[in-house]
Structure 1
């Protein structure tokens, strides 16, 4: 790869990182807590690219990959490396959603941890909990804090493993979208005709003991009410 190609590639990568950091779309790929590191990396890469390009311009040319025998290699294949960076810069991919929801490996990992006493649920007739909190309490809470309590949780609808019922899911990321996995709650009740991917606020009661090995530690929520809602700006769980 000659210097000209390398410099342009570096500038595009830095520009793509800077764009998603500034417009907030970086949360489609990494946790919000990584924003300072992402922004710093983007600025450093852009500065290095600009400095390299400016240095080549001052010298009057960009060093090439010619050899002493005067032959020049075809650099067309190297320019193809610019395509992924340009795509992110101009057409940012969406956040992971329904198509990325797979097995309940994350829930099996959570269930493998020791039982422990969770904090009591907040006061109120139906406190709002994240799906991650519901799954954790259902699988590992030694106090049974969910037993008999109506709760509210939100997520998007996906088809359950049996193909005839539905789950409520979120995409969980530990660090970035590369390690994404799904967490889900099985919905028991009359849901009506709801397309997959629809975001819902669901009220219901978790069936005690439903998060076990037979269910892949997916708790069942007996639905008492549900309301379609817009998708949140940040669709991931952490």
Structure 2
């Protein structure tokens, strides 16, 4: 791969990053707050590619002409007795092309992430990822939560409810009705649970928040179906089979299936 090809790959990669950043596609990879940094990184890649192409494609500087008599400008320029006639021509040939070798062909593998961004749109982490990782909360942590805001039911995140249910055993929830949105996943015994993935930075560090469901449990829905549930705090606790952490429960009063939200991570 020569430098021109490298620049083209760099240009495609930068363009793919910018394209993902100006649409909602980037939300499948990173948190929403990282969008400005992605746009800046994409622009830098595009600028670097354009500068590389300009440097490689610009006209070569004119070479100094040798006088008609073939005399050298100085004693250091005269060919030595051991120089072969073809050596000077070979050197000129290499100088005219900038180099006499190519970079390893493995460099073409850089085009794979470009194709991945341009042609493939993988889904956000869902029930499979939730089943492979333990819940991200541990009841050994301590926290002091303020009362829930006004509203009936009050809309809270899966993370917020699970934290309140574990860390202060529902004291900050009381008898309030809460509304949560998440996707259906399979629990330890095959029963449906409510889950949501949380990110620290990007999808590579995504961890699930899991809620057991009791009462009017959503039935007949496949994994990764998104639902909106209304319920109340339940003091029931379960165990995550992956890391043996406690999983809080929600007493479901009603539920309905909803479309996949724009922001799928908590």
* TM-score using structure 1 length: 0.85
- Per the TM alignment, residue 197 of structure 1 is displaced from its structure 2 partner at its CA by 1.1
The change in CA–CA distance for 1:151 and 1:63 in structure 2 (over 3 A counts) is farther
Structure 1 residue 232 corresponds to structure 2 residue 261: yes
Native 8 Å contact 1:138 1:211 kept in 2: no
Task: Show CA shifts across 1:178-234 (max 9, x none).
Answer: 111111111113432111111100011221263789972211111110011111011
* Per-residue deviation, 1:58: 0.8
Other-structure match for 2:140 = 112
Q: What is the number of equivalent residue pairs in this alignment?
A: 227
User: Structure 1 residues 97 and 40, CA, compared in 2 at 3 Å: closer, same or farther?
Assistant: same
Report whether the alignment pairs 1:175 with 2:201.
yes
Contact kept in structure 2, 1:4 and 1:62, CA below 8 Å: no
- Find the aligned partners of 1:128 and 1:85 in 2 and give their Cα distance: 39
Q: Is contact 1:155-1:170 (8 Å) kept? A: yes
- 1:156-189 Cα shifts (integer Å, max 9, x gaps): 00001122x1110111111111111111111113
Q: Deviations over 1:20-50 (max 9, x none)?
A: 0112311111111111111111101101101
Alignment of 1:37-186 (within 5 A): 37-59=37-59, 66=101, 75-101=104-130, 102-108=132-138, 111-114=139-142, 116-141=143-168, 144-163=171-190, 165-186=191-212
Residue 92 of structure 1: how far off its partner (Å): 2.9
Separation of aligned partners in 2, 1:159 and 1:62: 62
Counterpart Cα distance in 2 of 1:185 and 1:65: 63
CA distance in 2, matches of 1:199, 1:26: 20
Task: Tell me if 1:3 matches 2:16.
Answer: no
Which runs of no fewer than 5 residues in structure 2 stay unpaired? 61-95
Q: Is residue 24–residue 262 contact of structure 2 (8 Å, CA) maintained in 1?
A: no
Equivalent in the alignment of 1:197: 224
Alpha-carbon distance in 1 for matches of 2:258, 2:264: 12
Match of 2:26 in 1: 26
**Which range is displaced more, 51-60 or 178-187?**
51-60
Tell me how far 1:142 sits from its aligned partner: 6.7
Provide the rounded CA distance (Å) in 1 between the counterparts of 2:170 and 2:224.
Answer: 33
Alpha-carbon distance between aligned partners in 2 of 1:53 and 1:213, rounded to the nearest angstrom: 54
Q: Contact (CA 8 Å) 1:117, 1:142: kept in 2 or not?
A: no
CA distance in structure 2 between the aligned counterparts of 1:97 and 1:64, rounded to whole angstroms: 50
For 1:156 and 1:143, how far apart are their aligned partners in 2?
A: 22
CA distance 1:205–1:95, change in 2 (3 Å): same
Answer whether contact 1:139 1:212 (CA < 8 A) is retained.
no
**Offset at residue 141 of structure 1 (A):** 2.5
Q: Which aligned segments of 4 or more residues in structure 1 are displaced greater than 4 angstroms?
A: 59-65, 211-215
Q: Residue 57 of structure 2: SS of its match in structure 1?
A: helix
